[in-house]
Structure formats: C-alpha cells, structure tokens
Amino acid sequence: MAKLPASLETLTEQFGPHLNREPYGGWQGRGEPEKLVKTHCCFCGQGCGIQLKVRGNRIIGFEPWEEFPFNRGKLCPKGVKRYMQDNHPDRLLHPLKRADGVGFVPIQWEEAYATTVREMRRIQAAHGPDSVAVLSGVSLSNEKSYLVGKFARMAVGTKELDYNGRLCMVSAGAGNKKAFGVDRAANSWADIVDADVILCAGTNVAECSPITTDYIWRARDRGAKLIMVDPRVTPLARTCDLHLPVRPGADSALFNGMLRVLIEGGMVNREFVAEHTSGWDETEKAALEMPLAEVARITGVREEDIVRAATMWGQAKTSFLLHARGIEHHTKGVDNVLTCINLVLATGRIGRKGCGYGTITGQGNGQGGREHGHKCDQLPGNRDIENPEHRAYIAKVWGCEPEDLPVKGHPAGEIMEMIHRGEIKGLISICFNPLVSLPDSNFTREALGKLEHYTAIDFFLNETAHHADVVLAGSLHEEEEGTVTSAEGRVNRIRAAVDPPGDAKCDTEIILELARRFGRGKYFDHFHDSEDIFNELRVASHGGTADYYGITYERIEKELGVFWPCPEIGHPGTPRLFEDLKFSTNDGKAHFNPVRYRPSAEEPDNEYPVILTTGRVVSQYLSGSQTRRIGGLVDLCPEPFIEIHPTLAEGHGIVTGDPVLVESRRGRLIVKAKVVTTIRPDTVFIPYHWAGDQSANLLTVRAYDPVSKIPEFKKACVRISKATEPR
C-alpha cells in the first residue's frame, strides 16, 4: 500500500483499514457462491431478472435467471458487468466532508448528520422553508422514492422537490395523462409480438432497451413490418422495412403528415373515433393545415416515404407504437408524444391483443419513481398536489393536516436556475448527477458553487458530489429490499443480497435518521423495514391512477411481477390497459389533441449551422458515474465521439479519428470524429455519458418544454471544425 499523507495516517487509525480501499480483496472474492439471489438489474427500465452470486457478504458474479418471463435470462453488456460495482475500489465507505485544502476527508456519521441538519435549518430559518431543495432519482426503488418524497415534504418541509425523471420521462407522462388520463405503457410487451406493424419513434432500441429488440424480432419472425423514425440509422434501423430519417425537432410535423395521409386515404377508424374518443375535429383540422410537400420540407423525409409509412400503419390489422427520448427530449416533447398517440387513436388500435402503445421508460425505476411522490407537482399514486381531494387523502395517510403539505414546487431545471439566482441556498441530493446530466454544464457548475450547503447521498463520489460539503455513503440496489416498476408497468421485487460495506449505510436508514434529526420522527418512526414503507405506499396509492394496493411482496415473488393498476388484494393486475375501452380521463374517452408544428428553441443559422443531437451507447449508462468505473464497459466505448456524415466531414476536411472542435452558444468540446453514413448530413450526434471537458452537456441548451419542463437534449445548434489541439 502506498504511504498515506500524515493526516490520512491518523484517519486510518481512526477508521480502520477501509481507507486503503482494498478491504474486500478486490476481485479475489471470486469462486463458488454461497448463495444465488434472484433480483433485477439496477440499470435501465427493462428491469431484467438476474441472479447474483454471493460469497462472504460480497457479490462475486451473476447467473442468468431464465424463468423470469420478461428477459428469459438474456442480459445486455451492462447487466453482465453490473455486479462489479459492489467490490469497487471507488465505493464510498464513510461519510465525507469537504475540508479546505485537503479535499474530502472521512467523518463519523454523527458529524455528517448533525452538520446537514444544522446547516439546512440555519438556511431555512434565515430564508424560509423553500430555500432548501431536495433532488432525487429513479434508480431508487419505489420504497425509497416514496420515502424521499415524504421526507422532503414532511421532514425538510420544502416544496422544492424534484427528480431526474424530469430529464427523462415527463414529456411522455404529460402526453399520456392528457390523452389517456394515466401515465403508463398501455400494454405489456407481450402485445409487441402479436403486432403486424411496429413503429419506433426516437428510440435506439438495440442499444438502450436491448431486450425489447427480442420482442420486435419475435414479431418479425411472424412477418411484422418495422418502421423506424430517427435521424440516425441505429443498429435496429439497419434491419427495418422503412426508415424515416427525420430532421431533429420535426416529429410533430411528420406524425401530423402521416395523420393527413390516413384521413385522405380513408384509413381512419371513424366508428372508434366517434364512440371512444373526443377532440377529433380540431385534431383533423390541425393535421390538414400543412400540405405534405411542406411536411417533407420541414422533416427532411421524402413525401413518398411519409405516404408509405402512413399506409403501412393505416392498413395494418394490429400494431404497436413505441417511442422514447428521441421525440420526448424537446421543447415540444409533449406535442410530439400527442401526435404519436393521435395516430394510435385514429386507427383505434389499442386495448386488445397485438394492439398497443407505450413509451419505453428509461431509468431502472423510471416508471415507479414517477408515480410515488418525488415530482414537484405530484403526490403518491400519481395524485395531483394541487387537487384538494388528493391532498386531503395523502394528509390522512401521513397523519397530518392538508395545510401541512407543501404546495407545488419547481421542476429540476428551474431548481438549478433558482440555485444560480441565489433563491435556493441549500441542497440535499440523492441518486442524481446534474452536473453531467443537466443541459449547459458550465451554468450548472456556477450554480453549485453558490450553494451555502450541499449534502449528497451516493455510493460513488459522482461529479456533482465533488461540489458537496457533506457526502453520505449510501447503498447499492442489491443492498436493500424493495420493488421497482419496469417499462411495462410490471412491479418487480429487488432483493438485498449483501450489506453495505465499511461504514456505508442503507439509503433508507440515512433518510429515516435525517428525518428524526429534523424533528419529524413521528411521521417516520413506524417504518422498520422496506416492506413497512411499501405497505404505506400501497395505501397512499389506493384510489389514485397508479394504484398498487393489491400488490404485496409475497404476490410479486409468487407471480414473478404484478402489473399495476391492481386496486384490490384479489385483483389479477393489469398487463393490458383499456381492454374495456374505458379510459382514465374525466369523460372516460381517449382524447385527441390537436398539434401545430413549431420550431425548436434553436434552429441552425450561419453562425451555428449544424444540428447537434445527443444520446447513448450500449455500454455506458446515463451520467456514466456507475459505468465509467467498470473496465469491461469502458473498453467497449472509452470516450465520447462525434458521428458526422461523410458529406459534412469532407467539407471540413475531417476524417475518422480526427479531433473535432464542437462549439455552441454555451460552450466548446473536443471529441474524436466517427465519420458514418448512418446519420443525416445536417446533424451530428455525441453520446453524453462523460464528465468535465468530455461532457456533451457543455453544448446543450437550457430550453424546456412548456408543459413537461423536459430539457431540449435532442437539439442544439453548433459549428464544427477540425481541432488544432489533440483530444
């Protein structure tokens, strides 16, 4: 072991051998497992079943879990390597505090808790309860999501609570609520297999929802046709029947154009529209306003391809429409979603076998996390924080008065702006890395520098936590019991396989202790384990649109997942919504929504002529704080790159491997060129999983959808040149 500086030597005496960062023998722990634990992958919303191999209270590997029906043993590269986080040398083993001139030093839990609570209460006493914000994340289980929501509102007593799903699921959620009154994929993935036409809009299925590929292939084995809408020819698009290379930001025009073709070709299911929907006339009018030639000009998709796509969709007997962040990460993300839903409703293909619709939820618990209470505008069960009846119900469950519940707060992006303006001065974050994941990272960095106190809860020291005053060493997915809800709406059981290492603690324990120290133990002291929290969540969600009341830990294990809504104990759960063609809206009908195309926050001009879009690669996950630490995944994609079409590259004398300087109105970035024919010539693509001077979000724009408040990650304008400095 390298010699530690003197100050750290004393700390080693104080804290024991964890400090040499090799307390568990690294990978030496491999060998035959003592037990196999059936649980789920911690990464994306596919929620794959996996068995973890455990020996000596450490995870030493994995085995496929073939009986789990969703993925039937299949895993993507991230799932295969996820177990390596557990013994990782970067794992936080103690609470830390930032000390002048020394960086972070380990501290005892007593000091960590006391400092956090003292500082937050000091800030609130001086500036009011809402001067402290809580930012959360949906890699957290349903139990932890529920607990964080209750903690922010009842213990910290702030209205400023939001979560990283604001960067992810909210456009789909808002669109789904408007159209259907409920925010969930309308079908389990089983219906994909029976669809004759599958339309995927703005989703890189093979890399980002890898197991969904298997469902699509099974449909194609039966002869199903696949249409993909993406400015890039993604791996799955390379095999599709029709690829529509839409210009980023033009989806609502494209789907309106397709609706126009359906109308003019007599392919609208008039009977379904009349009986089961409202809002058709206005929607039809809006779709007919723009001639197809104009649609083709705006979208960059050939007129005949729009007609072909619409005809394929219109004539199908069964169909499934899937979309993801490619259409949702826009200042018109909700509009884009609504135009997709309009296509589904116009053909009346919903609520029966092989007829479906869904957004592909991104994060591990992106679905459950957005239902149970850490959104700024929402209470558990997908209840509305501004609805007096909903407030009264939750107040009763929580044992408080409705007036004790804070009102609606601000979405995550606005919280960061309020921090920048000095209106919010204290921050507690858990499971969120906004310095890497919010748009315009230079702005986020400035904001973080203005906080009077910041406490972060994580198991790794992510880049945002570098700016924290106190870091609380929390727990991995496999260190606590709980549930998560997958993209399909299936509530799955995650299992505690090992204990947190060193002095790290379970997230739940940390939050409960903080709640007590905030003087609000009476609202939390009845929680003795995760199941207690889940049981309160069940009651809190009862009667809401996301009703979990009938779901129990025992049932989930026996039935290998239960689909919500499940309002009663004897209820079988609901894999397919709307089978009775009753929708969860006020009038019981599905709602068409008229949409008129409008431009994005930034459109190309002479100064910044190229469209930048951002997204993912298969081997990295989100801000990369977890996957950039796993060698096998880093090897697959060690650094960001820029995809450029040969025509654009040639104009700048750029060949593959060249360093490219990319500049926007916010910042600059140098990345290596990948010259590919699989992208539109007016568009470049950079994956966003890296931090610091490798971060795509140095370039992106702080512009938000007016309804969902999602950032416009999928379109910013840049200029490119061959860099004179190396990458």
| Residue ranges in contact with ligand MGD by CB under 6 A | 44, 137, 139-140, 164, 167-168, 201-204, 207-209, 229-232, 234, 246, 248-249, 251, 324-327, 329, 362-363, 430-434, 437, 457-460, 462, 474-475, 477, 507, 613-616, 618, 620-623, 625-626, 685, 688, 696-697, 700, 713-714
Nearer to ligand MGD, 154 or 244 (CB): 244
- In the window 46-65, what residues touch ligand SF4 (CB under 6 A)? 46-48
CB of 76 to ligand SF4, least distance (A): 3
* φ/ψ (deg, to 5) at 153: -80, -40
Q: Which is nearer to ligand MGD, 191 or 207 (CB)?
A: 207
**Considering the complex, what minimum distance in angstroms separates the CB of residue 275 from ligand MGD?**
31
Among residues 77 and 594, whose Cβ is nearest to ligand MGD?
77
Which of ligand SF4, Mo ion, ligand MGD, none does 417 bind, CB closer than 5 to 8 A by kind?
none
State the Cα–Cα distance between residues 108 and 103, nearest whole angstrom: 16
Identify which of residues 171 and 593 has a Cβ nearer to ligand MGD in the complex.
171
Nearer to ligand SF4, 360 or 514 (CB): 360
CA distances from 152 to 386, 409, 430, 589 (A): 17, 11, 12, 36
DSSP 578: -
The single-letter DSSP state of residue 516 is: H
CB of residue 615 to ligand MGD, shortest distance in Å = 2
> Using the rule CB under 6 A, which residue among 37, 41, 341, 511 binds ligand SF4?
41
Can the peptide bond before residue 565 be classed as cis, meaning omega within 30 degrees of 0?
yes
Q: 534 vs 688, which CB is nearer to Mo ion?
A: 688
507 binds, among ligand MGD, Mo ion, ligand SF4, none (CB under 5 to 8 A by kind): ligand MGD
Count the neighbouring beta carbons within 10 Å of the beta carbon of residue 389: 11
User: Interacting stretch for ligand SF4, rule CB under 6 A, among 45-53, 335-343, 443-451, 701-709?
Assistant: 45-53
User: For 405-523, where are the E strands, in sequence order?
Assistant: 426-430, 453-458, 470-473, 482-485, 490-494
The residues, any chain, with a CB within 8 Å of residue 532's CB and separated by 6 or more, are: 526
Q: Which does 41 bind (CB under 5 to 8 A by kind): ligand SF4, Mo ion, ligand MGD, none?
A: ligand SF4
Indicate the residue among 39 and 437 with the shorter CB distance to ligand MGD: 437
Q: State the Cα angle at 78 between 656 and 75, rounded to 5°.
A: 120
Question: Which residues, 344 to 363, sit near Mo ion by CB under 5 A?
Answer: 362
Binding of ligand SF4 by 76 (CB under 6 A): yes
Cβ closest to ligand MGD, residue 547 vs residue 712: 712
**Of the two residues 398 and 713, which places its CB atom closer to ligand MGD in the complex?**
713
In angstroms, the CA 52 to CA 48 distance is 12
Question: Taking the complex as a whole, how short is the minimal distance between the CB of residue 562 and ligand MGD, in angstroms?
Answer: 22
In this structure, what token pair is assigned to residue 695? Answer: 């971060």
Span interacting with ligand SF4, options 76-84, 126-134, 384-392, 576-584, rule CB under 6 A: 76-84
Among residues 210 and 711, whose Cβ is nearest to ligand SF4? 210
* DSSP E strand stretches across 137-181: 161-163
Burial class (CB in 10 A: 0-12, 13-18, 19+), 10: exposed
Which SS3 state, helix, strand or coil, does residue 398 take? Answer: helix
Q: How far apart are CA 621 and CA 617, in angstroms?
A: 8
3-class secondary structure, 333: helix
210 phi, psi to nearest 5 deg: -50, -35
* Structural contact between residues 713 and 459, judged by C-beta atoms closer than 8 angstroms: no
Q: Is residue 50 close enough to count as binding Mo ion by CB under 5 A?
A: no
Written as one string, the DSSP assignment of 35-52 is EEEEEE-SSBTT--EEEE
**CA-closest candidate to residue 358, choices 378, 337, 372:** 337
Rank residues 123 and 473 by Cβ distance to ligand MGD and give the closer one: 473
CB under 6 A: which stretch of 75-83, 328-336, 469-477, 598-606 binds ligand SF4?
Answer: 75-83
Binding-residue total with ligand SF4 (CB under 6 A) = 12
Binder among 43, 62, 215, 564 for ligand SF4 (CB under 6 A):
43
Applying CB under 6 A, among 18, 29, 33, 44 the residue interacting with ligand SF4 is 44
Q: Is 110 exposed, middle or buried (0-12, 13-18, 19+ CB in 10 A)?
A: exposed
Closest CA to 245 of 234, 235, 256, 236: 234
Residue 208: exposed, middle, or buried by beta-carbon count in 10 A (0-12, 13-18, 19+)?
Answer: buried
What span, in angstroms and rounded, lies between the C-alpha atoms of 55 and 34? Answer: 5
Q: How many CA atoms lie within 13 A of 566 on its CB side?
A: 24
Contact between 667 and Mo ion per CB under 5 A:
no
Residue range at the interface with ligand SF4 (CB under 6 A); choices 26-34, 39-47, 415-423, 471-479: 39-47
Please check whether residue 611 is in contact with residue 682, taking contact to mean a CB–CB distance below 8 angstroms: yes
One of 78, 144, 247, 390 touching ligand SF4 (CB under 6 A):
78
Q: How many residues does the chain have?
A: 727
Which of ligand SF4, Mo ion, ligand MGD, none does residue 545 bind (CB under 5 to 8 Å by kind)? none
Q: Which of 61, 95, 210, 249 binds ligand SF4 (CB under 6 A)?
A: 210
CB 199 within 8 Å of CB 324: no
Q: Which C-beta is closer to ligand SF4: that of 367 or that of 708?
A: 367
| CA–CA gap between residue 169 and residue 329 (Å, rounded) | 9
Residue nearest to ligand SF4 (CB): 79
Residues 141-170 within binding reach of Mo ion (CB under 5 A): 168
Q: Which chain residues interact with Mo ion by CB under 5 A?
A: 168, 362
- Give the interface with ligand SF4 as residue ranges (CB under 6 A): 41, 43-44, 46-48, 75-76, 78-79, 210-211
